[in-house]
Amino acid sequence: MTDLNFVPGQAVDVNLAVRNGAWRVAEYRLRQVTKWWGSIVAFGLGNPILFLLSVGLGVGSLVDANNGAEALGGVGYLQFVAPALLAAAAIQGVMDEVTFPTMDGFVWDKAFFAIGATSVSPKQIANGVMIVALLRGLFTTVLYLGILLAFGAIPVASVLPLLLTSMFAGWGWASLMLAFTARLESDDGYFAIISRFVVTPLFLFSGTFYPLEQMPIYLQPIGWVSPIWHSTELGRFLSYGAEIEPIMFFVHFGYLALMGVVGMSLAYPKFHQRLLK
C-alpha cells in the first residue's frame, strides 16, 4: 500500500483535454474492436468471396456470354456491379458500429456515460463513434476492393473513385442511423427490421444488378431515395465513364452529403440531451 502523491489539478492541460476528444473516443473503441479482429476480417473477406463466386462467375458469365456488355455500357458484368457491391459493403461496415455498439454505449454497458464524465463532450463522443464507423466501413470496402482486384473484376484505376463513392454512401447512411440509434431506449428488434426490410430492399432495388431504368417506373423511387443508387451511379461514372447527365453528378453527391449533414445534425442534440439529462 503506497500513497498517491500529487498536487491536485496540475496534471491536466485543459486546452489539450477539451480538444481531439473524438479521436480519443475512437482510440478507445478500436482497442475494444481489435479484440475480435479475427471475425471482422473473416466476415470482411467471406462476404465478397461468396458473392463474387456466385453472382460474379455465375450470373456474370451468363450476362457476358449473351452480349450483356452492350446493355451495360460496354463493360464486363463484374465491373458493372462493383460500385453497388462496394457501396453496400461500406454501408454494412458502418452499420456494424452505429447500431448495437452505439446502443451499448447508451443503454447496456453505458460506456458513453463514463466517457461523458471526463473532459470529452457529447458531440465529440458522437464524432468518435462516426470515426470508428467510417473506419469499419473503409476496412470492409478495402477488403472488398482487394478481392475485386484479385478476381480481375476491375482495373486498378477504378480503386480510388470507387473507394470515394462507396465511403460517401457509408457516411450518409451512418449519420442517419446514428441519429436513429441515439433515439432508442431499447432495441426491440429495430436493427433486424432495418437490416432486412430497409437495407436489403435498398440493395436489391438500387440498379445493383441491372440499370435502374429497367425497373417498372413505380419501383424506381426506391432507387431514387437509396444511397446505394446514388453512390452506384457516381461510381459507374467515375470508374468507367458510364453516361450520366451533368446535373445528376451534383444531385448524387448532394443527396449523399445531405443525408450525412442532416443525420449528424439530428444526432448531436440527442447525444447532448441524453448525456446531460
Partner 1 sequence: MSTNAAREIVIRAKNLTKRYKDFVAVDGINFEVYRGESFGLLGPNGAGKSTTMKMISSVSQRTDGELTILGKEPNQKGPEIRAHLGIVAQKDLLDRELKVWENLYVYGRYFGLSRKFLKPKIEELLDFAQLQEKRNSKADELSGGMQRRLAIARGLVNEPEILMLDEPTTGLDPQARHILWDRLFRLKEQGVTLVITTHYMDEAEQLCDRLVVMDKGQIMAEGSPQELIKKYSSKEVVEVRFGTDKNEAAAKKLESMGDRIEVLPDRILIYTKHGEQLLSEIVEAGMNPITSLVRRSSLEDVFLRLTGRTLID
Judged by the rule CB under 8 A, the positions of this chain that interact with partner 1 are 1-14, 16-21, 24-25, 27-28, 31-32, 35, 109-111, 113-121, 275-277
> Residue 1 or 247: which CB sits closer to partner 1?
1
Rounded least distance, CB 26 to partner 1, Å: 11
> Residue 81 or 120: which CB sits closer to partner 1?
120
Element containing residue 142 per DSSP (H, E): helix 122-150
Instruction: Find cell 473532459 and name the residue.
Output: 119
> Residue 14 or 65: which CB sits closer to partner 1?
14
Rounded least distance, CB 119 to partner 1, Å: 4
Rounded least distance, CB 269 to partner 1, Å: 13
Instruction: Find cell 459493403 and name the residue.
Output: 89
Sequence-distant (6+) residues with CB within 8 A of 122 are: 112, 116, 268, 271, 272, 274, 275, 276
CB 68 within 8 A of CB 77: yes
> Residue 60 or 101: which CB sits closer to partner 1?
101
Rounded least distance, CB 39 to partner 1, Å: 15
The CA distance from 251 to 212, in Å, is 16
CA dihedral 61, 67, 73, 77 (to 10 degrees): 0
